[in-house]
Structure 1
Amino acid sequence: MKLLLSFCSSLLLSASLFSAPTQCDGLYFGNEAPDILNAKLLPKTQELCYSSFAVMHSGVSRTPLWSAEHLTKERLRHKSKRTNDFHPEERLKGDERAELSDYARSGYDRGHLAPAADMGSKKSQHECFTLANMVPQNSENNRGIWSAIESATRYLTNQKGELYIITGPIFSGSQIKRIGGRVLVPTKLYKAIYDPSSGQGAAYIVTNAASDEYEVLSIARLEQISGLNLFPKMSSSAKENTMDLPDPQERRGGSYNNTTNKDIIYLIEKLLKRMF
């Protein structure tokens, strides 16, 4: 009996050690950030609060572990010009943050987790271009299927009124790549969505490669893969179910009416490469 009580106490202690209390009000469902269940993800983590999103940053990967948004239909009514002013995060220690030089000539995009097209003010536009909100992302993935998933999420927000969103990378396998010798390259990316009006949720997940393929998973399945309790106040039964999500491929037909500068920039870069 004493052994059992000791074991249970250890489990409770571990859970509290790996939890992520938030100082970023209003951005998480129930105002609770994801719990870190995988101890390997815990070292050198630091929460960063911004005006329209929050980040849990890892000084090990030098990327976010996730970004969080409370996206609303009202917020999406406000438009702000994309700034493209990528910058390192000065609040992070120099040896724990990504630098612009890490991405230079790396072959990877600086891929947003909280996307610029979600930002409705000059301040939030500037904030979202911090490298603390970026992961090294395959360029075709970033400007193709991932851009379509971001657009589909905005479409769903306009349909539902509001959504809570957790976006993050997954690092799996024994041969994780680095850029700049420092910044880890994710093997997969996901966007987890919770609809407070129905209590349901689901997630898109893609491989970080030149592909248009994607999957839709239950929140429970994604939590197993990610090592995170993504929505601590979401019921276990709801996590097991998979909410219907819009097909991001439909965005290519323009049905989401959400054109951004990302595709235009990509085409210009391809043209310049051919010219020089």
Structure 2
Amino acid sequence: MAPDLINPKLAAKTRELCYSAFAVLHSGVTRTPLYAVEHLTRDSVAAAKGLQRPEASAFHAEPRLPPDERAELADYKRSGFDRGHLVPSANEPTPNAQQESFSLANMIPQVGESNRGIWSAIEGATRHLANTRGEVYVVTGPVFQGANLQRIGGRVLVPTHVFKAIYDPRRREAAAYLVPNAPGNDYQRIPIAQLEEVTGISIFPGIPAAARTTAMALPEPRAPGRGRQKDEPGFSERDVLKFLKELVR
């Protein structure tokens, strides 16, 4: 079941866009996705691993969106922000799916240090989880908090945070990473219920109540020199090794 918008203010000018290996709900107000949905499996991760990432010229405006609702390449030019994928091209199992992931309808303005640092590490940790567990459902999206939000190009809203929520349908467990859209490597691992309060989106409608309120153990992303939120559960190296052994049983 697709995510559901709890906050009615988010629903204005939204359009569903389906691609060959993922789908997004796009907002013509923020000119970004509100979320992107994908189903990662061991086979899809293996297929994607052997593909070469497209060139930077693959970035493109989404032709299915009205011009006044979509981001343009010019909005990002000299903005100081990366064109940050919600669904990373490294997840895509075919050349066509990789090309589709470079649509600006799959992008947010993202701080480069975070995008190429802790966020990249979280993307890798998510693929690792899909590979070890067999399959996971993933919902990724921006968070817009506060009244004084920045726009690039005077049009595209800059998120304050980015989330990646993961559900394991076999073990019926879920949790999310929440990352500030800011320099540094800080992040949190939180229950889905907490993420829903932050985003105004019902991320995984219909999952068991326990999966919403209790965070599953997520692998620690490996980003050099990363920080730690005060309320983030600490994992020692011994804890990580124990967790990985449990995954492959």
TM-score normalised per structure 1: 0.79
Query: Residue 95 of structure 2 aligns with which residue?
Result: 122
Looking at structure 1, the residues matched to 107 and 147 of structure 2 have their Cα atoms a distance apart, in angstroms, of: 22
Query: Residue 18 of structure 2 aligns with which residue?
Result: 49
Deviations 1:90-134 (A, max 9, x none): 000000000000000000000000001001211001100000000
1:30-109 to 2 correspondences below 5 Å: 32-78=1-47, 79-83=50-54, 84=56, 85-109=58-82
Instruction: Point out where structure 2 has 5 or more consecutive residues left out of the alignment.
Output: 226-239, 241-249
Q: CA deviation at 1:251?
A: 8.3
Looking at structure 2, the residues matched to 183 and 197 of structure 1 have their Cα atoms a distance apart, in angstroms, of: 38
How many pairs does the alignment contain? 222
1:127-166 to 2 correspondences below 5 Å: 127-166=100-139
Looking at structure 1, the residues matched to 165 and 171 of structure 2 have their Cα atoms a distance apart, in angstroms, of: 15
Question: Is 1:171 aligned with 2:144?
Answer: yes
Paired amino acid for 1:55: V
- In the alignment, is the contact (CA less than 8 A) between 2:60 and 2:103 conserved in 1? yes
Deviations 1:182-213 (A, max 9, x none): 00000000000000111010000010001101
Deviations 1:224-255 (A, max 9, x none): 11101111120222200110000002789xx9
Deviations 1:120-179 (A, max 9, x none): 211001100000000000000000000000000001111100000000000000110000
Query: Residue 241 of structure 1 aligns with which residue?
Result: 214
Q: CA deviation at 1:68?
A: 0.4
Question: Is 1:192 aligned with 2:165?
Answer: yes
**Secondary structure at 1:248 match in 2:** coil
Moved over 6 A (4+): none
Q: Compared with structure 1, are the counterparts of its residues 81 and 251 closer, same or farther at alpha carbon in structure 2 (3 Å cutoff)?
A: farther
**Secondary structure at 1:224 match in 2:** helix
Looking at structure 2, the residues matched to 250 and 196 of structure 1 have their Cα atoms a distance apart, in angstroms, of: 28
Looking at structure 1, the residues matched to 224 and 39 of structure 2 have their Cα atoms a distance apart, in angstroms, of: 22
Q: Compared with structure 1, are the counterparts of its residues 229 and 187 closer, same or farther at alpha carbon in structure 2 (3 Å cutoff)?
A: same
**Secondary structure at 2:141 match in 1:** strand
The structure whose Rg is larger is 1
CA RMSD of aligned residues (A): 1.3
Looking at structure 2, the residues matched to 119 and 251 of structure 1 have their Cα atoms a distance apart, in angstroms, of: 26
Paired amino acid for 1:172: Q
Percent identity between matched residues is 54
Query: Residue 20 of structure 1 aligns with which residue?
Result: none
- In the alignment, is the contact (CA less than 8 A) between 1:53 and 1:70 conserved in 2? yes
Q: CA deviation at 1:67?
A: 0.4
Looking at structure 2, the residues matched to 66 and 251 of structure 1 have their Cα atoms a distance apart, in angstroms, of: 28
**Secondary structure at 2:222 match in 1:** helix
Paired amino acid for 1:63: T
- In the alignment, is the contact (CA less than 8 A) between 1:151 and 1:251 conserved in 2? no
Looking at structure 1, the residues matched to 209 and 152 of structure 2 have their Cα atoms a distance apart, in angstroms, of: 38
Instruction: Point out where structure 1 has 5 or more consecutive residues left out of the alignment.
Output: 1-31, 256-276
Looking at structure 2, the residues matched to 40 and 136 of structure 1 have their Cα atoms a distance apart, in angstroms, of: 21
Paired amino acid for 1:153: T
